């Protein structure tokens, strides 16, 4: 096994790429009795066009397939449900779908339950079972979920921001799809996607907890079914324009206080640059609108915003953007003041004291993630899908200089790449 030793934060990761292409990552944590396993596939909501590895033909699948397939993975031919089986073992089990991956997971503290859970997890993920009857039944369940999110102001705010930012990238489409799109899903579509994307060569399994790396690797290998490494999957995406799709979107819903989201469209950069850019953007956001920033204090004291502002940088293979959200009776004023603060910062430059203070906080937030086996496992899975090494956030910390952050500020935080989404009350 390859050993990644991050001496800065005193953590190690053991990595093995098996003959079938599955990447296994083990992060031992000797000071906990918790054990966490997550098995993910590099298949998310944006992967709706690809070349079938067997037929070499282009395939276009309905929106929402990755999420629909995740729902159907638990159902077994004998009528049982693997999620129920794992819960009955006392495991904290779940699954989720994102824009770029799907994951199946469980957490527990007991050795005996852990290995029974591993049996079940690795069995159901490798044993798809789709019939006309169970697929039709699921359409009703997922249809209700779609309607529930249609009534969720926070989700609609997020989705509308993405629709403003992107005109071609499928990230602008709801992960669950639409009632119309899921109506086109059938067992053939699901098996086609499963056989393409659930090949071990397109998957990553991460285990974190009180493990001996060699022992847990052996247990994982013993539970793998024979499969052929199909290699890299060719995905097809329309070229996304650099400019934003539209600058502003408003929607009226039943809420007492308007909520807003400012989006900033970024470009996808080389893999070697992604971690540095992520850290630089987090630092800039902390300086601009963090709890101790001048702008946030003014917005809060003048009651222009209520509560803290949330911010994050989302990026993957096909997209990258900044999202800033909060509650305000005057979202347009918040946007105006934010843009003015960005221009002031560009002209004045980054203050060394502010830069160092926020940089330490960003680093501290990263290190804190290593206190929890769930955070560790999810982080390594998501980062591996993005083709980056989670330890790089510690290793490249000192490479994020004030000069580099200024370069990113000038390159990314531009008014023509900013959009505003608002959900207001009836």
User: Shortest CA distance to 240 belongs to which of 267, 219, 218?
Assistant: 267
User: Shortest CA distance to 288 belongs to which of 275, 301, 299?
Assistant: 299
Q: Is 70 a catalytic residue?
A: yes
Choosing from 70, 120, 240, 341, the catalytic residue is: 70
Place of tokens 């859970």: 117
- The three-state DSSP-derived secondary structure of 233-251 is CCECCCCCCCCCCCCEEEE
CA distance 405 to 42: 31
Q: What are the residues whose beta carbons fall under 8 Å from the beta carbon of 185, sequence distance 6 or more?
A: 62, 64, 65, 68, 135, 139
CA distance 341 to 286: 13
CA distance 73 to 67: 10
> Alpha carbon of 278 to those of 124, 271, 396, 408, 425: distances in Å?
35, 11, 11, 10, 34
CA distance 391 to 12: 9
State the helix-helix crossing angle for 153-165 and 132-150, rounded to 10 degrees. 90
Strands 320-327 and 306-315, how do they pair?
Answer: antiparallel
Positions marked active-site: 70
């Amino acid at each position: 096994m390859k050993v990644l030793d991050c001496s800065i934060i005193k953590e190690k990761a053991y990595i093995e790429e098996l003959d079938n292409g599955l990447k296994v990552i083990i992060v031992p944590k000797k000071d906990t009795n918790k054990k966490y396993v997550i098995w993910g596939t590099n298949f998310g909501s944006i992967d709706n066009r690809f070349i079938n590895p067997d037929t070499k033909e282009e395939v276009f699948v309905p929106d929402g397939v990755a999420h629909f397939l995740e729902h159907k993975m638990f159902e077994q031919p004998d009528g049982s449900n693997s999620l129920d089986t794992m819960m009955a073992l006392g495991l904290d089990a779940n699954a989720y779908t994102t824009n770029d991956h799907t994951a199946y997971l469980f957490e527990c503290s007991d050795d005996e339950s852990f290995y029974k859970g591993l049996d079940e997890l690795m069995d159901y993920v490798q044993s798809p079972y789709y019939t006309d009857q169970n697929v039709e039944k699921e359409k009703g369940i997922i249809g209700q979920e779609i309607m529930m999110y249609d009534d969720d102001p926070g989700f609609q705010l997020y989705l509308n921001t993405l629709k403003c930012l992107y005109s071609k990238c499928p990230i602008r489409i709801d992960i669950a799809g639409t009632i119309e799109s899921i109506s086109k899903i059938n067992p053939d579509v699901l098996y086609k996607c499963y056989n393409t994307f659930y090949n071990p060569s397109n998957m990553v399994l991460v285990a974190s907890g009180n493990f001996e790396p060699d022992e847990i690797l052996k247990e994982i290998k013993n539970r793998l079914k024979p499969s052929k490494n199909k290699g890299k999957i060719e995905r097809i995406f329309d070229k996304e324009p650099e400019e934003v799709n539209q600058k502003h979107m408003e929607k009226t819903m039943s809420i007492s206080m308007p909520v807003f989201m400012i989006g900033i469209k970024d470009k996808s950069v080389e893999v070697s640059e992604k971690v540095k850019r992520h850290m630089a953007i987090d630092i800039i956001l902390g300086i601009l609108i963090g709890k101790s920033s001048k702008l946030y204090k003014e917005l809060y004291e003048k009651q222009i915003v209520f509560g803290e502002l949330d911010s994050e940088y989302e990026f993957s293979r096909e997209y990258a953007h900044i999202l800033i959200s909060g509650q305000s009776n005057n979202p347009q004023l918040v946007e105006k003041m934010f843009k003015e603060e960005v221009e002031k910062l560009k002209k004045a430059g980054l203050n060394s004291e502010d830069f160092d203070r926020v940089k330490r906080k960003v680093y501290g937030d990263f290190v804190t993630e290593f206190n929890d086996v769930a955070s560790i496992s999810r982080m390594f899975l998501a980062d591996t899908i993005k083709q980056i090494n989670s330890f790089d956030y510690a290793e490249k910390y000192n490479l994020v200089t004030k000069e580099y952050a200024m370069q990113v500020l000038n390159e990314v935080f531009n008014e023509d790449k900013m959009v505003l989404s608002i959900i207001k009350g009836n």
